[in-house]
Homo-oligomer: A and B are copies of this chain.
Amino acid sequence: MAPKSASARVPAPRWRRRAEARPEEILEAALAEFTAKGFEAARMEDIAKAAGLSKAAIYLYFPSKMALLEALIEAKVSPLAHQAATLAAAGQADPLTALRMLSTAIAALMADPKVVAVPRLVIGVCGRFPEIAEYYRVQVVAKARGALEQLIEAGVAGGKIRKVDAAAAVRAFIGPLLFEAMWTHVLKGETALNDPRKLIEQQFDVLLNGLEPRA
């Protein structure tokens, strides 16, 4: 996560880093606190303490609490957007296998609370910050959905996948993972995400073959 050296093409965001490692540490701490207590309930002082700084020092890096939230969300977008972009291209040849591998990877990621933290945060916050909802919808979820739909459609076109509604298929693919992630991280239920391979195997048994008894 080395600071990508200013990169003059992209106009430096308002919360531009002034030191090397600090911003990362602060964001880390902020994410932890936001996740644990929610955006409103999280206190700058606790974030500062967790980051090993004084409360005032945070303001050297981020102009406000809100900026922290924005930085946090944005920081997770580029990776995701990028992955989504490459995904569609990469898996065209063998969509089902691609989906299976992808699923397993996602399931494994979702076992990590930190990965789920930002989406959870967005859920909790988008009520009063609609811009964030929109940003997340457009920049993250819509992109991911699009990429997956393309994959499905490619599979259908290539005869590898039965002719189904792509959107429905994407929901069938992502929904169960979302559900298990919520169960695990929100409700603190016993998770099936610990064994991603097994989870995906069971899920794909249903997903690929359906519930109907075969002749």
Binding site for B on A (CB under 8 A): 35-41, 96, 120, 122-128, 130, 133-134, 136-137, 141-142, 155, 159-162, 164-165, 167-169, 171-172, 174-180, 182-183, 186-189, 192, 199, 202-203, 205-214
In the complex, what distance in Å separates the CA atom of A73 from the CA atom of B164? 38
Q: List 12 A-B contacts (CB under 8 A).
A: A120-B123, A124-B124, A124-B127, A126-B188, A133-B186, A165-B202, A165-B205, A165-B206, A167-B202, A172-B176, A175-B175, A208-B212
Picked from B38, B134, B182, B214, the residue with its CB within 8 Å of the CB of A124 is: B38
Give chain B residues whose Cβ lies under 8 Å from the Cβ of A161.
Answer: 211-213
User: With A123-B186, A175-B175 known to touch, is A202 a contact of B162 (CB < 8 Å)?
Assistant: no
Give chain B residues whose Cβ lies under 8 Å from the Cβ of A175.
Answer: 171-172, 174-180
Chain A at the B interface: SS class: helix
The oligomer's copy count stands at 4
Picked from B41, B134, B211, the residue with its CB within 8 Å of the CB of A40 is: B41
Given A38-B39, A167-B202, A172-B207, 19 other A-B residues pairs in contact with their CB atoms under 8 A: A38-B124, A38-B125, A38-B127, A40-B40, A123-B182, A124-B127, A137-B183, A141-B189, A161-B211, A161-B212, A161-B213, A164-B202, A165-B202, A168-B176, A171-B179, A171-B203, A174-B175, A175-B175, A208-B212
In the complex, what distance in Å separates the CA atom of A8 from the CA atom of B174? 46
In the complex, what distance in Å separates the CA atom of A174 from the CA atom of B214? 23
